């Protein structure tokens, strides 16, 4: 079973039942813990567990069998999964990994480091190990990387009645039995039938006579977006994935498509604001990674803004009266550079924060953490861009180190300020009960423009 994750890779955090759980833990109430895990919906259990430390999570999960443990564990967000994996012995871990469904298992193993993985694999049964190695070999974001191998299949030469009774045996460990695939001996896909069609068909007829032969499928190397589009276009519950010899190797189910669509939507939003997409959620991605993903684009944009400065110098801002040193006409050349730096950084921050808020309810602590992260990121980005501009202004525009310093200092202030206001304004809108998405990138930019002008000329007046 796969699951929808928030941009942070985390499911919704559910603090409602936590006091009960903590009480049971403190009282060593084994039976209570077991019932908690077995009676509640596993999604809810996984959400409540997100509030606990690794040791407590394992105390809770140890009350139940390994199958149910795996079912709940699969629903926990990847970064917490990794933490949890480090807190149990290898024996327990190998059992857990064996019990997980193939697609979630591969997800977990991909997140583990090489060393952990090599220590773990020998403990896993041969058959599963081969499958794991195969699945790990599929490229990132390919059909193979998101499919599961737990599909229901039958030969085509049996009757509908026989098919139903065989399906009953397969059912417990298949991801879905609502689509059943007909395979020949070499596992070539011959046909498909839905459980609905199977139930409606007369028990005596042969599967070959009622199965559908107009098959919609994808190749194991196809991009996950291709898979998502096919499932969406044909309203499928599952899409068969074939290898190059047209053998069935897995299925992708409807719920995985939602993951893909949401992932792509976030990537699109990031690209739209000139942020290089990154794999994990905003809050679980290291600050320097985010700074890098933003910084590369900001640097490109700074280079282009120097083009604008050249144009302003050439056309508008000719230093007609170069007599006095008081002439500060040249400041206007770099006004677009200064304002764009602040506006672009602010837009990036607003986009990151709005996306994060859209997918998960943030606690007050999360909000402070975001503001703090944005302050730091802004400072890092601001300093880097300031140094770049400081050099460029001296080399390309004949400014002295002090004049270049005015622009550099301004950029570092404006970028830091843009990053902070870009993150605070959407949160402020949310707090007002308004839609934070109203804080569009252009709106952030124009607010940042006004502040930018004030900062720019204040710095200039102070230093020149």
Query: 171 vs 288, which CB is nearer to a copy of itself?
Result: 171
Is residue 331 a contact residue for a copy of itself (CB under 8 A)? yes
Confirm if 141 and 220 have CB atoms less than 8 A apart.
Answer: no
Told to check if 358 binds a copy of itself by CB under 8 A, we report yes
For the CB of residue 441, give the shortest distance to a copy of itself in the complex, in Å: 6
Q: Which of 23, 87, 205, 216 is close enough to bind a copy of itself by CB under 8 A? A: 216
Q: How far is the CB of 173 from a copy of itself (least distance, A)?
A: 12
* Nearest to a copy of itself of 13, 120 (CB atom): 13
Contacts with a copy of itself in 257-296 (CB under 8 A)?
257-258, 261-262, 265, 268-269, 271-274
Does residue 234 interact with a copy of itself by CB under 8 A? yes
Interaction between residue 172 and a copy of itself (CB under 8 A): yes
**158 near a copy of itself, judged by CB under 8 A:** no
Distances (CA, A) of 98 to 115, 120, 209: 19, 11, 38
Q: How far is the CB of 58 from a copy of itself (least distance, A)?
A: 24
For the chain, how many helices (H) and strands (E)?
21, 6
Rounded Cα distance, 163 and 154, in Å: 7
| Contact set for a copy of itself, span 175-204 (CB under 8 A) | 177-178, 195-196, 199-200
Of 209 and 268, which has the nearer Cβ to a copy of itself?
268
Query: Interface residues for a copy of itself in 300-329 (CB under 8 A)?
Result: 300-301, 304-305, 307-308, 311-312, 315-317, 321, 328-329
Find out whether 367 and 436 touch, Cβ atoms under 8 Å. no
How many whole angstroms separate alpha carbon 259 and alpha carbon 147?
Answer: 12
Instruction: Find the binding residues for a copy of itself in span 367-426 (CB under 8 A).
Output: none
Query: Per CB under 8 A, does 125 bind a copy of itself?
Result: no
Looking only at residues 5 through 24 of this chain, which bind a copy of itself when binding is defined by CB under 8 A?
Answer: 11-12
> Cβ of residue 269: shortest distance to a copy of itself, in angstroms?
6
Give 276-283's long-range contacts (Cβ < 8 A, gap of 24+).
280/8, 280/9, 280/78, 280/79, 281/6, 281/7, 281/8, 281/9, 281/10, 281/356, 282/7, 282/8, 282/352, 282/353, 282/355, 282/356, 282/370, 283/8, 283/356, 283/366, 283/369, 283/370, 283/373
When binding is defined by CB under 8 A, the residue of 136, 158, 379, 443 that contacts a copy of itself is 443
Cα–Cα distance list, 321 to 81, 313, 327 (Å): 67, 14, 7
Element (H, E) at 179: strand 176-183
Q: How many CB atoms lie within 10 A of CB 71?
A: 20
SS3 at position 193: strand
CB of 8 to a copy of itself, least distance (A): 14
CA proximity to 334, closest of 355, 311, 352: 311
Distance CA 460, CA 407 (A): 8
Q: Which stretch binds a copy of itself (CB under 8 A): 136-144, 154-162, 251-259, 390-398?
A: 251-259
Nearer to a copy of itself, 347 or 421 (CB): 347
């Amino acid at each position: 079973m796969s699951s929808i994750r928030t941009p942070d890779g985390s499911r919704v955090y559910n603090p409602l039942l936590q006091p009960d759980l903590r009480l049971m833990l403190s009282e060593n109430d084994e039976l209570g813990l077991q019932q908690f895990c077995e009676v509640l919906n596993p999604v809810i259990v996984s959400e409540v567990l997100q509030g606990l430390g690794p040791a407590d999570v394992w105390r809770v999960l140890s009350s139940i069998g390994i199958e149910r443990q795996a079912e709940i564990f699969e629903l926990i967000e990847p970064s917490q999964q990794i933490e949890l994996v480090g807190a149990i012995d290898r024996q327990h871990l190998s059992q857990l990994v064996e019990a997980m469904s193939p697609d979630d298992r591969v997800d977990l193993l991909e997140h583990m480091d090489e060393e952990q993985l090599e220590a773990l694999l020998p403990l896993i049964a041969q058959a599963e190990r081969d499958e794991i190695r195969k699945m790990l070999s599929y490229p990132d974001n390919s059909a193979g990387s998101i499919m599961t191998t737990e599909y229901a299949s039958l030969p085509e030469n049996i009757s509908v009645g026989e098919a139903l009774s065989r399906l009953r045996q397969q059912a417990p460990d298949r991801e879905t039995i609502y689509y059943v695939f007909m395979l020949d001996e070499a596992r070539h896909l011959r046909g498909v039938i839905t459980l609905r069609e199977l139930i409606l068909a007369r028990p005596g007829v042969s599967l070959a006579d009622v199965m559908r032969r107009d098959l919609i499928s994808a190749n194991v190397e196809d991009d996950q977006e291709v898979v998502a589009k096919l499932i969406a276009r044909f309203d499928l519950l599952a899409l068969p994935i074939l290898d190059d010899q047209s053998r069935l190797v897995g299925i992708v189910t409807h719920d995985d498509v939602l993951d893909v669509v949401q992932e792509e939507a976030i990537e699109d939003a990031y690209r739209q604001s000139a942020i290089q997409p990154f794999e994990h959620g905003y809050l679980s991605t290291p600050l320097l990674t985010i700074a890098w993903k933003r910084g590369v684009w900001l640097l490109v944009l700074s280079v282009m803004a120097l083009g604008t400065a050249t144009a302003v110098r050439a056309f508008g801002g000719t230093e007609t009266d170069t007599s006095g040193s008081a002439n500060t006409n040249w400041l206007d050349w770099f006004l677009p550079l200064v304002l764009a730096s602040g506006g672009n950084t602010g837009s990036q921050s607003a986009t990151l924060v709005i996306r994060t808020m859209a997918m998960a309810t943030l606690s007050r602590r999360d909000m402070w953490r975001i503001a703090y992260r944005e302050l730091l990121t802004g400072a890092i980005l601001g300093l880097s861009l300031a140094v770049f501009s400081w050099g460029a202004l001296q080399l390309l525009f004949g400014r002295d180190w002090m004049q270049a310093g005015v622009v550099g200092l301004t950029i570092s202030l404006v970028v830091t300020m843009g990053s902070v206001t870009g993150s605070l304004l959407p949160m402020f809108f949310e707090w007002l009960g308004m839609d934070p998405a109203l804080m569009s990138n252009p709106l952030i930019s124009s607010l940042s423009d006004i502040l930018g002008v004030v900062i720019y000329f204040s710095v200039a007046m102070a230093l020149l």
